[in-house]
Structure 1
Amino acid sequence: MKRLSLLMFSWGLLITSLFCPVSAAWYQDKQGIMGTNIQVEVWSEDENLGHQATTAVMVEMERINQLMSPYIDSSELAILNQQAAQHPVKVSKELFDLIALSIQLSLETQGAFDITFASVGYLYDYRNHQKPSEQQVKSLLEAINFRHLQLNEQEQTVSFAHPKVKIDLGGIAKGHAVDNAIAILQAMGIQHALVTAGGDTRLLGDRRGKPWMVGIRDPRHEDKQAVILPLVNIALSTSGDYERYFEQDGQRYHHILSPQSGHSSYAVQSVSIIGPRSTLNDALSTAVFVLGVQQGMDLINRTPGYDGIIMDNQRKLHYSKDLTAQ
């Protein structure tokens, strides 16, 4: 009888191990890439797959960093900034398509989103508390205009029509990287995941029967959340004046510049966009930040499938109409 009980117990363990894999778990990784914090969290029932998935995300983030960073001299974007004012520069289809999308978004946002902001923006050094003089800003301001970007789709080249133009994809590249990472995880069979690059987060599925609880940081209190949202299978991007900044003589100088003035935008403190695609969320949050509450909300409310939360410079929260209706 004891032998039969032991046998049944052994079979029970076998059945349990077959249907409840001991390696089923959340697998995580955090790294500093693209000048920001990258975080990935995936659910996998296979340990090897879990580790492969988190590694694949970080590899993709670094690939895009090497391709699109303006601070890496060998990147395609850095070479473009060095040469495109002299002659057309052939670029990869990935970079060409992202620049083309950026121009389209510039048109749709009436120039509030403009990757040529870097024509002035490169003179800001937030780490060392340095900013351009008013004379420098004025002399370079006419270089900020997305219409200076000339694309030849057939040749896959980009050229600059103004000698002082520089571009920076900081307002869209991280979102693009997050979307790519999620696509890679889906191709690997992952069904539950979170990928974050700075203020850009995209969620794959839910958190195993529960929604993901995603916080929007209070712009003036690093350890507090202004809003916490239960989200499933969606993306959220936040642009805030606290990401890269310094304060001097009572003034905050941050990285979200108005293409019209070449100076930091001050109408709001943070903008969060909720939508299916991180690439568009990323760009829209920047555009809305520049536009301010009224024009920004108008843009969100006429963009199907996207919602927004704005904290203005008086720290009042504003919600897009679909969020208000819920």
Structure 2
Amino acid sequence: MKRFTRFLLLCLAATTYSAQTQAEWHYDKQSIMGTEVTVQLWHDDDQQAAQLIEQVMAEFRRLDDELSPYKEDSELSRVNREAATQAVMLSDELAALIDKSLWYSELTGGAFDISFATLGKHYNFRKHQQADKTLTQSLLEALNYRHLHFDKNAQTLRFGHSKTRIDLGGIAKGYAVDRAVAILQKADVCCASVSAGGDARMLGDKRGEPWLVGIRHPRDKDKTAAVIPLNDSAISTSGDYERYFIDDRDTRVHHIFNPATGKPADTTAGDSDKLISVSIIGPRGFDTDPLSTSVFVLGKDKGLALIDRLPGFEAVVIDSNKRLFFSRGLANPK
């Protein structure tokens, strides 16, 4: 009997080993939400892996359909059309995004503000177009998160200024990678990485090793400024190199707006407080995404001070002189 039990255990062990050796990494990349979405996961069934990847991509497409300010039939576009004249009922999902966005607006003193679209919609980075001084001044009053009258109980949103508009570009991709990871968690995937542009989230580790996430050098796309080992974490990077053009005054015009000025956040060389890249590490993309934008706008000193006050979050920032700085937990690891 003991001999049979030992034989059975050996067979089970051999079966388990065989299943493990058949497992492999599965990968896909698609253009969704105006960026490249990539999925990498470990699975022992090719068909199930392909189905899971398609579920993830379908979720990104669904969110793009609902949250894009460029698609006329999206829920966000409907809100932008109607909220200046009446309170608009929101879906549970959009209500949660608005609620979180306004929470970060309060936390950062307005550095994070989804009403940046009031002026942001007048910029076209592909065509090198930007709002002129007159238009900026005329719309600046409408760019203020305090014009977003959100009734959490009724789940409605109304704009307090007729020209106010919103855009969730500073939070939607981080939320999307969280949704993707939730799909994979539900399917008992042990190890995966999902990214959408500058936002990424890792599920588990990389088969016994940490995921090594490179932070791009903001002035040389072929170089890496830092490599961060991560497990079960999210990381979001905001930089003035993602969407930008150089205008006729040799000024870098990029997509991260300073709500106080209604213009892209100033990254003038020579000022050590001004940033050109911000990476935030934390548990969820729903938080790291808005925080990376916030720290970029706040600048090095105020931005790092904010992250040092938030448990569970770390930051890597690069100033306009291309020097790296770290939040307290990364600078002084225990």
2:295 and 2:113 map into 1 onto residues whose CA distance is: 12
SS in 1 for 2:257: coil
Conserved in 2, the CA contact under 8 Å of 1:235 and 1:278? yes
1:153 and 1:16 map into 2 onto residues whose CA distance is: 56
> Cα offset for 1:153?
2.6
Task: Give the structure 1 partner of residue 330 of structure 2.
Answer: 323
**Amino acid of the residue matched to residue 301 of structure 2?**
Q
SS in 2 for 1:120: helix
**Amino acid of the residue matched to residue 122 of structure 1?**
K
Which has the larger displacement, 144-153 or 24-33?
144-153
TM-score (norm 1): 0.94
Conserved in 2, the CA contact under 8 Å of 1:42 and 1:53? no
**Amino acid of the residue matched to residue 294 of structure 1?**
D
> Cα offset for 1:26?
0.7
Conserved in 2, the CA contact under 8 Å of 1:39 and 1:195? yes
Conserved in 2, the CA contact under 8 Å of 1:113 and 1:287? yes
**Amino acid of the residue matched to residue 203 of structure 1?**
M
**Kindly tell me: are residues 15 and 111 of structure 1, through their superposed partners in 2, closer, same or farther at Cα, counting changes over 3 Å?**
closer
Conserved in 2, the CA contact under 8 Å of 1:80 and 1:89? yes
1:217 and 1:181 map into 2 onto residues whose CA distance is: 24
1:190 aligns with 2:192: no
Task: Give the structure 1 partner of residue 252 of structure 2.
Answer: 252
1:71 and 1:17 map into 2 onto residues whose CA distance is: 52
Task: Give the structure 1 partner of residue 203 of structure 2.
Answer: 204
Conserved in 2, the CA contact under 8 Å of 1:25 and 1:43? yes
> Cα offset for 1:155?
2.7
Task: Give the structure 2 partner of residue 176 of structure 1.
Answer: 175
**Kindly tell me: are residues 314 and 90 of structure 1, through their superposed partners in 2, closer, same or farther at Cα, counting changes over 3 Å?**
same
Structure 1 segment 22-101 matched on structure 2, within 5 A = 23-101=22-100
> Cα offset for 1:154?
3.1
Task: Give the structure 1 partner of residue 262 of structure 2.
Answer: 262
1:16 and 1:307 map into 2 onto residues whose CA distance is: 43
SS in 2 for 1:151: strand
1:277 and 1:230 map into 2 onto residues whose CA distance is: 16
SS in 2 for 1:163: coil
Task: Give the structure 2 partner of residue 313 of structure 1.
Answer: 320
1:80 and 1:132 map into 2 onto residues whose CA distance is: 23
Structure 1 segment 264-279 matched on structure 2, within 5 A = 264-265=264-265, 266=267, 267-279=274-286
Task: Give the structure 2 partner of residue 284 of structure 1.
Answer: 291
**Amino acid of the residue matched to residue 275 of structure 1?**
G
1:301 aligns with 2:300: no
* Unmatched tracts of structure 1, length 5 or more: 1-11
SS in 1 for 2:158: strand
TM-score (norm 2): 0.92
1:244 and 1:35 map into 2 onto residues whose CA distance is: 11
1:28 and 1:93 map into 2 onto residues whose CA distance is: 31
**Kindly tell me: are residues 209 and 80 of structure 1, through their superposed partners in 2, closer, same or farther at Cα, counting changes over 3 Å?**
same
1:177 and 1:25 map into 2 onto residues whose CA distance is: 25
SS in 2 for 1:29: strand
SS in 2 for 1:20: helix
> Cα offset for 1:206?
0.5
Task: Give the structure 2 partner of residue 161 of structure 1.
Answer: 160
**Amino acid of the residue matched to residue 284 of structure 1?**
L
> Cα offset for 1:18?
5.8
1:71 and 1:210 map into 2 onto residues whose CA distance is: 40
> After TM superposition, where is structure 1 displaced by more than 3 Å over at least 4 residues in a row?
12-19
**Amino acid of the residue matched to residue 60 of structure 2?**
M
**Amino acid of the residue matched to residue 246 of structure 1?**
F
Structure 1 segment 195-234 matched on structure 2, within 5 A = 195-234=194-233
SS in 2 for 1:167: coil
1:148 and 1:61 map into 2 onto residues whose CA distance is: 29
> Cα offset for 1:243?
0.8
> Cα offset for 1:261?
0.4
**Amino acid of the residue matched to residue 256 of structure 2?**
I
> Cα offset for 1:254?
0.2
Percent of pairs identical after alignment? Answer: 47
Task: Give the structure 1 partner of residue 271 of structure 2.
Answer: none
> Cα offset for 1:23?
4.2
* Per-residue CA distance 1:27-49 (angstroms, 9 max, x = gap): 11100100011000000112222
